[in-house]
Amino acid sequence: MPLKCKLDGEPCFSFTYTTEDWEALKAARKQHDMRMPCCGRRAIPKTSSLGTPFFAHTRRGECVSGQETREHLLAKYLVARGAYAAGWSVDVEHRGETPDGEAWVADVFATKGKAKVALEVQWSPQSEDETRRRQERYRASGVRGAWFLRETRQYNPSFLSILSERATPSFVVRLDDSGQDFRIGWSRVSLSDFVADLLSGKVRWSPLPGEQGRVGPVVLEESCWKCHQPTGIVASMVMEDSQGIRVGALDYDDIRIREDLIRVVSESDLRRRHQIGPLKHRFSRTEGRSYFSNGCFHCGALQGRFFIREALLEVLVTDDPDPVSWTSFVFSEAMAKELGGWRSIRLADISADE
């Protein structure tokens, strides 16, 4: 079920058509010579039950090539359409080879100026090593590659480590509730929009080592166990990259952001406004040793870290609280490695308001 044919001798792609123009082509098909790319036999424009425009052989059984599911065809169509919408030249089932003569076929192949990108819609589960190997083959051919891995009931690609490897951009795609569109991961971002963003430089790997972002404390209002008055407790430190996209959160007592935390809460206005008690080492009878802790704004009593963690988890079920203030932060190499991922403003925005 291909997305292209030869129309009166010229390459023709179904994803470049509006719905109206596609219907017009169907109505006028007898005035054209349409040929399948696989075997050169006669082709006919059709629309799948999922709404995907494609070309089919006029008669079944003439050619064995191109058997694929409607969902797979839809996903390829959405990828090709996104690339086309972003202003790239797009081919499908595009053949090429490495300088060593190893052949490859890209599901969707997009070019713009000197840039070449292979977009692979991976339908059957593929081992991570195989994905890496195929990515290397593209790299050797001067082609960038990106992978869209289908999530199924039996196969959850979110558990793959390849999703956090910069060298092999990989994304999980899921069929949405309508059954006629694919989304990226758990977001509401459509596959088409995401591909357009990817090819427009709006999806980037972040944070990079040395990148300047910011970090800020999330403060919860709790009752002090000792004096029962409300007190502000620093529960975590949220981190954003240079574009303001959230990249993670660390426990308030993580040593790597200790200086930043102390700097932020040194501002007395902020402490008063949120009733944040002093953060320092205190002896805990429960733990039999001293540790860096929150204290009650009023009486100074240690607020236990397990209690804080529980309180934060409870909040996170329904809410993703914003920090009360920010301070600039430069990501170290180790931190960048730990938090690195492919991110875009659209993905961040939409997951945040869900």
Site residues for Zn ion per CB under 5 A: 36, 38-39, 63, 224, 226-227, 296, 298-299, 301
**In the complex with Zn ion, which residue's Cβ is closer, 18 or 67?**
67
**In the complex with Zn ion, which residue's Cβ is closer, 44 or 63?**
63
Q: What angle do helix axes 191-199 and 70-85 make, rounded to 10 degrees?
A: 40
Q: Is 170 helix (H, G, I), strand (E, B) or coil?
A: strand
Element (H, E) at 206: strand 203-206
- For residue 217, give every residue at least 6 positions away whose Cβ sits within 8 Å of its Cβ, in sequence order, or none: 234, 235, 236, 237, 238, 252, 261, 264, 265, 323, 324, 325
Q: How far is the CB of 38 from Zn ion (least distance, A)?
A: 3
Candidates 269, 295, 204; CA nearest to 241 is: 204
**In the complex with Zn ion, which residue's Cβ is closer, 13 or 88?**
13
Which residues are paired to 290 by β-bridges? Answer: 283
Q: How far is the CB of 227 from Zn ion (least distance, A)?
A: 3
Cβ atoms of residues 13 and 92 within 8 Å: yes
**In the complex with Zn ion, which residue's Cβ is closer, 53 or 340?**
53
**In the complex with Zn ion, which residue's Cβ is closer, 256 or 298?**
298
**In the complex with Zn ion, which residue's Cβ is closer, 297 or 329?**
297
Q: How far is the CB of 228 from Zn ion (least distance, A)?
A: 7
Q: How far is the CB of 246 from Zn ion (least distance, A)?
A: 32
Q: Which residues of 213-249 are buried (b: 16+ CB within 10 A; e: fewer)?
A: bbbbbbbbebebeeeeeebbbbbbbbbbbebebbbbb
- Paired tokens of 346: 């659209």
Could you tell me the CA-to-CA distances from 286 to 160, 231, 303, 307, 310 in Å, in that order?
Answer: 40, 21, 11, 12, 16
**In the complex with Zn ion, which residue's Cβ is closer, 8 or 62?**
62
SS3 percent helix, strand, coil of the chain, rounded to 5, is: 30, 35, 35
Which residues are paired to 284 by β-bridges? Answer: 289
What 8-state DSSP symbol labels residue 180? Answer: S
Q: How far is the CB of 88 from Zn ion (least distance, A)?
A: 27
Q: How far is the CB of 287 from Zn ion (least distance, A)?
A: 19
Interatomic CA distance for residues 58 and 125, integer angstroms: 32
Q: How far is the CB of 223 from Zn ion (least distance, A)?
A: 8
Q: How many CA within 13 A on the CB side of residue 65?
A: 11
- Paired tokens of 50: 């999922």
Q: How far is the CB of 65 from Zn ion (least distance, A)?
A: 5
**In the complex with Zn ion, which residue's Cβ is closer, 187 or 231?**
231
Q: How far is the CB of 277 from Zn ion (least distance, A)?
A: 8
Interatomic CA distance for residues 95 and 73, integer angstroms: 18
